[in-house]
Chain A
């Protein structure tokens, strides 16, 4: 049955089913009861949806006939707020979109502003950014995949890798002092250089993590119970995925090797040697496997970046835009003045419009910024990958059972904060 995007559509189905029952004119038999449809509200806050999504599903027994997703439960008007904020104060807004991989959002935003201002970032800072972004991608995928395990009934895998995410957060803490909503970047580079402790922690983690990841994979990849639950569940073809605007692992699972890091390299990604894993069927198992493989590729990138970390400054020589490190503000009058001017939003941006996109945890995360020469953006639009592809969800789950729908949702890695913004 075709997907009905409209509420009217679902109501029509119920109406038709009811009419069918009336026209039959018989005393209801067991067979008639099987024709009766159920409206099921999955969410807004259902423990298995990992966020605030409401799906109004029409069920025929255990089978889903149609679904209508309603979103907006944590809408915080970020685009409107951004029109009143100087550029640095928009960084915390980007943090709170995809909170599983906030460094990627931060860096993407800073790179957009750098493009607008014409600031060139030194090589060392670019490599440091790559390390931070790939760490974020790993944690994002780890959470997604291990939660998928939980949804199929395997809690152990989740506990194994959650510990590893904790260790990555300790590395973040060493880099910038924050764990979840990191503000480690600055327009023009990084806030501070990697400390020796941070590098040591990173090296230690790079040594121990592959063993854990292997264990995690051996627990799931060829597991009969797991495969029964995810193979051929929630598939989407490459053509439909492109039409729906899919990007990131969800698109690559359908067989399209589109990756922003390769097609439009930013922050020195062209220096690194890595592969783009692709799937074939676009089902839940493919999405799981693509994310797993991407974790290995991210580890490759981090290893290369750490080996070849260039010497030199960790920020651009752009005092008008680069927020000085706190230590400099305490000691240096000039730094204090610039700190004040930047924080108070007295630095005006040039007129222009810029679109910049990075490969976020879920796909192409784009920032479209229009500046009219003021202290704040005239218009800022976030291209949130989750918002764009979540509308395909009903089409992917129609005809499957409710438990399959749960698994599909968690394998798509829809983050509520990014969905609503």
Chain B
């Protein structure tokens, strides 16, 4: 995960923070976010490669996205993309959703993350805010089994309908795990 960004990438950013326009923009954006939603709404604030990344909770994500969309100053009203992610070792926070929003007026990007247990993969839908969230959420459901409450049509989108598992989860190896004639020595993890 991004908290251990290597020294090589993090050091020049921090050193050049006052001059770097991107860092100044991010600081401004973060201050606005804190003012709008309270400082306790966001944890793990990072700037990997210049893009402000914050983590919030699934209870608050819908309100925050709605607030970002309506706020006239930020105008973060373009949902660029959203995708699921799976960290099997992260106990209690195995699954996650990552949202990228973009302000076409101010040219600001923001990345939001939420994490939740795999035993209870329920997230509020964003389809009431963004029409584009419909298929992205179906894709996340298809790949990771994340259930979006309030989604009008939560069915598989890319895989066949009678599939009984969610293939992008890490426990499903790409190839047949019982085979012995193939070695993992050089490829993958």
Contacts and interface: CB of A to CB of B under 8 A. Distances in A.
A6 B130 contact: no
Interface stretch (A53-61, A75-83, A146-154, A293-301): A75-83
Given A75-B158, A118-B9, A364-B80, A354 B131 contact: no
Interface centre among A81, A240, A381 (most CB of B within 10 A): A381
Interface string B130-141: 111011100100
Give the contact-size bracket for chain A. 35 or more
Given A351-B2, A354-B48, A374 B189 contact: yes
Contacts of B158: 71-72, 75, 420
B49 A352 contact: yes
Contacts of B29: none
Nearest to B155: A7
Contacts of B186: 344-346
B168 to A, nearest CB: 6
A167 interface: no
Contacts of A354: 48-49, 51
B178 interface: no
Interface stretch (A40-48, A202-210, A387-395): A387-395
A366 B131 contact: no
Nearest to A245: B132
B53 to A, nearest CB: 8
Interface string A252-273: 0000101000011000000000
B80 to A, nearest CB: 6
Contact of A350 (B9, B80, B132, B157): B9
Contacts of A116: 49
Contacts of A118: 8-9
B152 interface: yes
A157 interface: no
Interface of B: 1-2, 4-6, 8-9, 48-49, 51, 53, 77-81, 83, 85, 98, 100, 104, 107, 109, 111, 130-132, 134-136, 139, 143, 152-153, 156-160, 167-168, 174, 186-189
A245 B6 contact: no
B120 to A, nearest CB: 21
A226 interface: no
Nearest to A240: B131
A264 B80 CA distance: 14
A328 interface: no
B48 A376 contact: no
Contacts, number: 128
Given A350-B9, A375-B189, A392-B131, 15 more contacts: A72-B159, A77-B167, A80-B174, A242-B104, A244-B131, A245-B78, A263-B107, A351-B2, A351-B4, A353-B1, A355-B109, A368-B83, A368-B100, A370-B1, A375-B188
A418 to B, nearest CB: 13
A388 B135 contact: yes
A361 interface: no
Given A83-B188, A245-B78, A350-B6, A381 B83 contact: yes
Contacts of B83: 368, 379, 381
Nearest to A7: B153
Given A71-B158, A245-B130, A355-B109, A391 B80 contact: no
A63 interface: no
A164 interface: no
Contact of B174 (A84, A258, A388): A84
Contacts of A223: none
A295 to B, nearest CB: 24
A372 interface: yes
Contact of A352 (B2, B98, B143, B168): B2
Contacts of B153: 5-7
17 contacts: A72-B156, A72-B159, A79-B168, A80-B168, A81-B174, A83-B188, A84-B188, A263-B107, A350-B6, A353-B48, A355-B100, A355-B111, A366-B80, A368-B98, A375-B189, A376-B187, A383-B80
A86 interface: yes
B107 A264 contact: yes
A345 B187 contact: yes
A71 B160 CA distance: 10
B167 A6 contact: no
A192 interface: no
Contacts of B80: 245, 357, 364, 366, 383
Contacts of B132: 243-245, 388-389, 391
A243 B131 contact: yes
Contact of B48 (A243, A346, A352, A383): A352
Nearest to B51: A355
Contacts of B6: 350-352
Nearest to B127: A5
Contacts of A353: 1-2, 48-49, 53
Contacts of B157: 71-72
A212 B100 CA distance: 41
A86 B81 contact: no
B85 A379 contact: yes
A85 interface: yes
A83 B1 CA distance: 15
Nearest to B7: A350
